[in-house]
Structure 1
């Protein structure tokens, strides 16, 4: 009986030591980069956020994956709840007990980070930058209010340059033309190995060219969208068939056109919907900019404002 008790104490001590060793094991910056750089590159191809920025933010926000938020909630980017409907955790940040998103896996955190930046209007201007302009992105994130730290941009740039994270941007860009098109309907795109459509950009907004076999449902499934999102993003009240359209936006259009396109002269037969799609501007904003009633159509030769509201 005494021998059994001794053995129990020995084994208990061993497992306590083992558990303690696991708890104190920390990711180094190099290990973090090695573990997650592929996801950063993949999301760069899918959503257009530079891989260097994703990795630097992940390293900084999660303490190289060692923070309580990262360990307990798989949240590597410090994204708060906002309109989140998933699981939540509460953590002291700028204020006590702030609500943060909780993810099932770290991969979900990376995917949500890319989606978060690419679908919110306050970050839209970043997608006009060259995809390898990590300094512009870092400063832009600070300007847009991603973090309250006054040195946030400098800290991201330091990480990118210290660990040469910009090399992953070259991988993500590959041989494709990554600089965003500025209000033009043709231009930069990238091929994602996980999807069947090339993703194009217009006015900083992602869109795809519709294929003969496409349906709204198949496109929504491919890009992880809800059924209502494609019609909403494209100002379609009566959606009809996906093949009725040459291209479809897969994220919200902007409130105004790119600075290169302050106005548009209406051609014969052009509708507000068509003009809205050409410039990647929401229809309701287009009506508001031109002091028009929703449903009203422009006349041929009329000049529409695309950026500044018409004076009443």
Structure 2
């Protein structure tokens, strides 16, 4: 019997966000997408798998902003920087995974990236890592404003604790914080000064009214934009661990984020995707759309003609 030679297998390129070029040590870029494969304990395990899931589904997404003028990636120089290496530095200890180790690792990586690049968009990670990201951003820009979209605070990772720490460390300007999407009223604002639009107030104001509050409160201060995908109703994002109905729709989230281009954004994160809790993939698809919209709004914020 004649043997048939097996075809030569080409090496597959690692998936990147929206098929952007992969550059693990970028310099002089407008924006670097960075995965944070980190799994926090609590109500939403599996978030370490979020960055890969978002990248995979993003390959099928449309180029953000293409329906509003030139494609975003024709306007800003973006690359995918791969994932943050969260491997413990010493195998005999767990310092790379402990509560101090992972945030410090992320801070060092971001601090290095922001010395040679304009801004970073984080995919994945957990809410406890927001402070580490803010440390790196504030190191370059000083205390920043904060636009935070999230559902009601989880008991183990309360957003109020995150903001309190950020204010105490002078990373965030407490008078320029806007919280959108909390359900059940959320936690009391112990950090002080935040404009809180829970789902009830958001519903009364609508997307346009909520965007007006954001513009008025934040103005032209440098702003860090944090979106936890659990801000969406579970019908639109079942893979976040939140089962309480009444969140924002996908259209409302993307609609309110369109005001970011009127601000001065200096950093972004999209967190909370847990693929094991959503086999349909729609949570990862929503996260990819949110991240794409944020990149487009970053291009608008640079006042690039479109």
Shorter-chain TM range is: under 0.3
| Structure whose alpha-carbon radius of gyration is higher | 1
* TM-score, with length taken from structure 2: 0.27
Q: Which has the higher contact order (CA 8 A, sep 6+)?
A: 2
TM-score (norm 1): 0.27
